[in-house]
A and B are shown apart, each in its own frame.
Chain A
Amino acid sequence: MTEPKFPTDLRADGMLWMGVTRSPHASAAVRGLDLRAARAIPGVHAVLSAADLPGYNFHGTRAIDQPVLAADVARYIGEPVAVVAAEHPALARAAAEAVRVIWDPLRPLLDPDQASTAPPIHPDGNVLHATTLVFGTEPGALLDPETAEVAGLKVVEGEYAFDAVAARPGAPAAVIAVPNGERGIEIYVATVSPRGDREVVAQCLGLPVEKVHVIPTRVGGADTHREDVGLQVQAALLALATGRPVKAVVPRDVPAHPARPAARLRYQHVVADDGSLVAVQADILLDSGAYASTTVDVLEEACRLAIGPYRVPNVHITGRVVRTNNPPAGRVRGGGGALTCAAYEAQMDAAGSAVGLGGLEVRLRNLLRPGDLVPDAADPLGKPAAAPVPIPDCLHEVLDTPMPSFPPGPDIREYPGTVGRTGELTRIRRGVGVALGMADLSNPAQQGEYATAVVLLSQTPAGPAATVACSAVETGSGLHDLIRVTVERTLGIPADRVAVRAPEDPGSLPSSAAITHPAWVHGSAVEAAAKQARAKLFRPLADQIGVDGGLLKVADGHLLSHDDVFRLPLTEAYRQCLPAGRVVRGDGEFRMLTMPTLTGTSDAAHLAVGAVRAVVDVDTELGLANVVQLAVAQDAGRVVVRERAESRVASGAVAGSGLVLSEGSDLPFGWGEPSPMDSPEVVVAALLETAAEAKDEIGPDGLPVASPPLGGMKPVGDLAVMATPAAVLAAIRDAVGDPGNGSPLRLPLRPDRAWWVLA
């Protein structure tokens, strides 16, 4: 089979299995380590601890603070302290258990609220990052309820607490490390940033970077945020020590993937009697767990997106990321916006109640328009929003979606409680809620990115075919489809004759560390390579008409000159220029410096907006909520593969309903994502294509807007993840009423936390 493989599907002769000895304590000093019993087990080939690591024991995306193997102190339950390699997984487990660690348990720091005052649990301190975004007047004076009342204003307060969510992908975290003589070590892993991983692994192993080859495999689970790189180092360390291939598969219940950080958000909105927003103060606290990971990015994003797609003249946002003895967190689907959206949309509903207009009306009166200010880290005065901001269009689309019929059923499985068959019509209340969401495109913290691609053209019996070698990793989000369509548009070769594969030597080719926009980075590199191949291929024709090959283009099945004077059917052009046996190669690269430098649009904030309408049935006695339908509409900028984009949006909506109703880290094995039984019907009401429109817009400075970032593409999927929880909460509020100010809303809203049952 030539189908790509997942890392667990890779096997090698003489392969050993990795076992890991983990800390049973959230916080404990290591007083001693006895590896002898483990080493004595027949079939065990290596038992190694931090002392055996030849290179640097620490790694991390933002701060280099996370040990590959804990040396003198363990900071979360499950932190690795020793690794073993054995001939069978069960032997590896037994050996890992036979490692004797003398623990000295310490009092763990588990409450992020106490982190800034508690004794530091790490030499770098407990506060990892603090940020403040302000514009307009300091809202402080306005927030005093008495002063506000005199001025005819109302203060709406709310507190929202999110549990950490270990959103584990379907495929397990797995690595296979293979020592390969002079070539060094090969690491096969489901990663989307092989270049970044390679540097970390080389440094931790004390090897020159050329000796480390990180080879991406197929990625399961449509999530671009994969396991921590420490796993790669551990497997490689064992492979080097034993001279044999080592496979590491991490059990489901171990924190091997970054969890969404636990968060506590406090909001105060000042709203005038006519429903207009006067000021917002927000305080966001994120629990990064024991190590920094990428939680700082999540915080920055949460702060930028803290007020949502609304026009507010006076804004004060503070954010902190703190360290605790919880498992490390990081960026997961939806990012920081997924935390704030549920909170600011709850605030809008509360503001609607406070001034008697209703949540939807308050939203409409304050909708963000192009040129309105949004918070920005680089600009203390805020940044004007770039056009377009088509929120009304999105709103119309979701409100126009036909409603599902009520009551549900007659099949009892369509009621809340589903297969539990607890549903009963007398206890069902239906609610409808709408939420608006906003994601930003120009992340100021975005690091430089670099991608290369090679396009090879050759003739096959079926016609001309292309092979693309690039390090874009398909995670189920449709990246390879997008690349095939890009080649089809540039070269006129049908997408089904375009093969996408890894570069011949993936380890030595730089590949992007893209997280937020691999489609753009890789797609641009592939487009450049395809254009070069096109210019080379059709040079004979270009010479005949006396133009440069680069001026030829492909449209409507024809090869055209830039001025459309020359026109030749593509089949004829390929027949003339691509005889059997000729191979034409095009190389392309794409290099990006920091985000604002590249786009030249640092004067405007590029946003993607969207709306979600949720229809939810609530069981008033059992506290169960059944999301019946989600309608999603969003500004997608430019849609390349519509089928894939819609699928991405729909799965994002399902993920969002899981984040707000069922998922959590406290569940056994971290499950709790919605099953097909719990998942709603998802209607993708609209994916608006605004890229062309955006080009013609005049910016807030009176000049034409520079070309939109990400080639006009906007992140699909993230918005659905963000706004769905807010819409579901709004629908529940509609069904069973608001808990009122004062009681913090704790999410996910599982039945044991349902206020309408407890009230």
Chain B
Amino acid sequence: MSEPAAEWPTVGLTLRVDGHEYPVPQVWIGDSLLAVLRERLDFDEPRDGCEIGECGACLITLDGAPAAACLVPAVAAVERDIRTPLDPAFNSARAAVVAAGASPCGFCAPGLSVAITSLLRRNLDPGPAAVREALSGVVCRCSEPGRWIEAVALAKEAEDGDRGGSGDQDDRGDRGDRGDRGDQGGSGGPADAAGQEPDPADLAPVRTRSQHPARRHPEAAAP
């Protein structure tokens, strides 16, 4: 039998998520990045699937590299460039997932979009086996790999189009801009950030919690 949690060490953090600074006071040091993103900052994506790094539902990128947010301690994500599946960088992959019908229930769509985007960043023309290997960390119960391969092809088409077309809309440019903003914020360690009260005017649009889940119920809230 374990000791009751008599101590509850917490720190204040500032996380840079999708290019915006989010100060989060009183984070338990054991909390994962996933828990902070979802429960403190109210992001619905990344999703929480297994919380043990098996299912890929919580895939994000950290400094551009894919990572399972459930396995990253929140305190280790300070000062890093966190991109959730909601970041525009993953839009073309997300659109491709939808167009290919690759995630019928939608649960794995965010993780899948991140996985597809990261794959296309390191492999410009992946073959079927490479696609399957790259996406095998994402668990899905209601689709089949044929649709995933199709989704990758569609995402690749879209990215190729972007590259050839209007040019500087790609995510790297985006990130540079936002990185500058990030540097003005709390660049100290967690301990520094804990002592700071953020000026609301400086904040990026922090998502607010609604008061009641009923109002947040999607179907009830639909227009």
Q: Give the B-binding residues of A (Cβ under 8 A).
A: 1-6, 8-13, 37-38, 40-43, 88-91, 94-95, 97-98, 100, 167, 169-172, 176, 178, 180, 186, 188, 215, 217-223, 245, 249, 251-252, 411, 413-414, 418-419, 474-478, 499, 501-502, 504, 506, 643-644, 647, 650-651, 653-655, 669, 671, 673, 675-679, 681-682
Given that A12-B212, A682-B146 are known contacts, is A215 also in contact with B105, CB under 8 Å in the complex? no
Q: A546: shortest Cβ distance to chain B, in Å?
A: 39
* Residues B144 and A677 in contact, CB atoms below 8 Å apart: no
Q: Is B140 an interface residue (CB 8 A)?
A: yes
Q: Which of A90, A219, A499 has the most CB of B within 10 A?
A: A90
* Residues A681 and B146 in contact, CB atoms below 8 Å apart: yes
- The 10 listed contacts between A and B (C-beta, < 8 Å) are A11-B216, A172-B50, A176-B213, A178-B214, A245-B213, A249-B48, A476-B105, A477-B104, A675-B137, A682-B146
Q: Which of A11, A95, A215, A655 has the most CB of B within 10 A?
A: A11
Residues 38-70 of B, flagged 1 when their CB comes within 8 A of A and 0 if not, give 110010100111111011010000000000000
Consensus secondary structure, chain B interface: loop
Contacts of B130 in A (CB 8 A): 411, 413
Q: Which of A4, A95, A504, A644 has the most CB of B within 10 A?
A: A4
Q: How far is the CA of A219 from the CA of B106 in the complex (A)?
A: 9
Q: Give the A-binding residues of B (Cβ under 8 A).
A: 1-2, 4-5, 8, 28, 30-31, 35, 38-39, 42, 44, 47-52, 54-55, 57, 101, 104-108, 127, 129-133, 135-148, 209, 211-214, 216-223
Contacts of A221 in B (CB 8 A): 105, 107, 141-142
- Across chains A and B, the number of contacting residue pairs, with CB separation under 8 Å, is 207
* Residues A419 and B136 in contact, CB atoms below 8 Å apart: yes
* Residues B219 and A501 in contact, CB atoms below 8 Å apart: yes
Q: How far is the CA of A223 from the CA of B135 in the complex (A)?
A: 22
Q: Which residue of B lies closest to A473 (CB)?
A: B219
* Residues B214 and A11 in contact, CB atoms below 8 Å apart: no
* Residues A169 and B141 in contact, CB atoms below 8 Å apart: yes
Q: B157: shortest Cβ distance to chain A, in Å?
A: 20
Q: Which residue of A lies closest to B139 (CB)?
A: A170
Contacts of A3 in B (CB 8 A): 106, 218
Consensus secondary structure, chain A interface: loop
* Residues A647 and B54 in contact, CB atoms below 8 Å apart: no
Given that A419-B136, A650-B146 are known contacts, is A98 also in contact with B50, CB under 8 Å in the complex? no
Q: Which residue of A lies closest to B103 (CB)?
A: A476
Q: How far is the CA of A176 from the CA of B131 in the complex (A)?
A: 37
Q: How far is the CA of A42 from the CA of B28 in the complex (A)?
A: 14
Given that A10-B217, A219-B105, A647-B101 are known contacts, is A1 also in contact with B141, CB under 8 Å in the complex? no
Contacts of B220 in A (CB 8 A): 215, 501-502, 504
* Residues A252 and B51 in contact, CB atoms below 8 Å apart: yes
Q: A505: shortest Cβ distance to chain B, in Å?
A: 9
* Residues B104 and A41 in contact, CB atoms below 8 Å apart: no
Q: Which residue of B lies closest to A476 (CB)?
A: B105
Q: How far is the CA of A655 from the CA of B143 in the complex (A)?
A: 10
Contacts of A41 in B (CB 8 A): 4-5
Q: B73: shortest Cβ distance to chain A, in Å?
A: 13
Contacts of A10 in B (CB 8 A): 213, 216-217
Contacts of B1 in A (CB 8 A): 97-98, 100
A-B pairs with the 7 shortest C-beta distances? A476-B105, A222-B142, A220-B107, A4-B218, A502-B219, A675-B136, A476-B104
* Residues B147 and A669 in contact, CB atoms below 8 Å apart: no
* Residues B51 and A251 in contact, CB atoms below 8 Å apart: yes
Q: How far is the CA of A37 from the CA of B5 in the complex (A)?
A: 11
Contacts of B8 in A (CB 8 A): 42-43, 91
Q: A227: shortest Cβ distance to chain B, in Å?
A: 14
Q: Which residue of A lies closest to B135 (CB)?
A: A676
Q: Which residue of B lies closest to A97 (CB)?
A: B2
Contacts of A651 in B (CB 8 A): 104, 141-144
* Residues B141 and A90 in contact, CB atoms below 8 Å apart: no
* Residues B42 and A11 in contact, CB atoms below 8 Å apart: yes
* Residues A2 and B141 in contact, CB atoms below 8 Å apart: no
Q: How far is the CA of A669 from the CA of B144 in the complex (A)?
A: 22
Q: How far is the CA of A643 from the CA of B132 in the complex (A)?
A: 22
Q: A191: shortest Cβ distance to chain B, in Å?
A: 14
* Residues B213 and A94 in contact, CB atoms below 8 Å apart: no
* Residues B142 and A673 in contact, CB atoms below 8 Å apart: no
* Residues B4 and A98 in contact, CB atoms below 8 Å apart: yes
Q: How far is the CA of A252 from the CA of B122 in the complex (A)?
A: 32
Q: How far is the CA of A88 from the CA of B27 in the complex (A)?
A: 11
Given that A97-B1, A218-B218, A651-B142 are known contacts, is A170 also in contact with B55, CB under 8 Å in the complex? yes
Q: B211: shortest Cβ distance to chain A, in Å?
A: 6
* Residues B216 and A8 in contact, CB atoms below 8 Å apart: no
Contacts of B49 in A (CB 8 A): 170-172, 252
Q: How far is the CA of A679 from the CA of B223 in the complex (A)?
A: 40
* Residues B141 and A222 in contact, CB atoms below 8 Å apart: yes
Contacts of B147 in A (CB 8 A): 647, 650
* Residues A217 and B28 in contact, CB atoms below 8 Å apart: no
Q: B20: shortest Cβ distance to chain A, in Å?
A: 17
Q: How far is the CA of A647 from the CA of B146 in the complex (A)?
A: 10
Given that A8-B47, A478-B104, A676-B131 are known contacts, is A501 also in contact with B222, CB under 8 Å in the complex? yes
Contacting residue for A476 out of B31, B106, B132, CB 8 A: B106
* Residues B133 and A677 in contact, CB atoms below 8 Å apart: yes
Contacts A171-B107, A675-B136 known; 9 new A-B pairs at CB < 8 A: A1-B218, A4-B218, A12-B213, A37-B4, A221-B142, A413-B130, A476-B105, A502-B220, A675-B139
Q: B3: shortest Cβ distance to chain A, in Å?
A: 8
* Residues A222 and B213 in contact, CB atoms below 8 Å apart: no
Contacting residue for B39 out of A11, A178, A251, CB 8 A: A11
* Residues B5 and A94 in contact, CB atoms below 8 Å apart: yes
Contacts of A223 in B (CB 8 A): 141-142
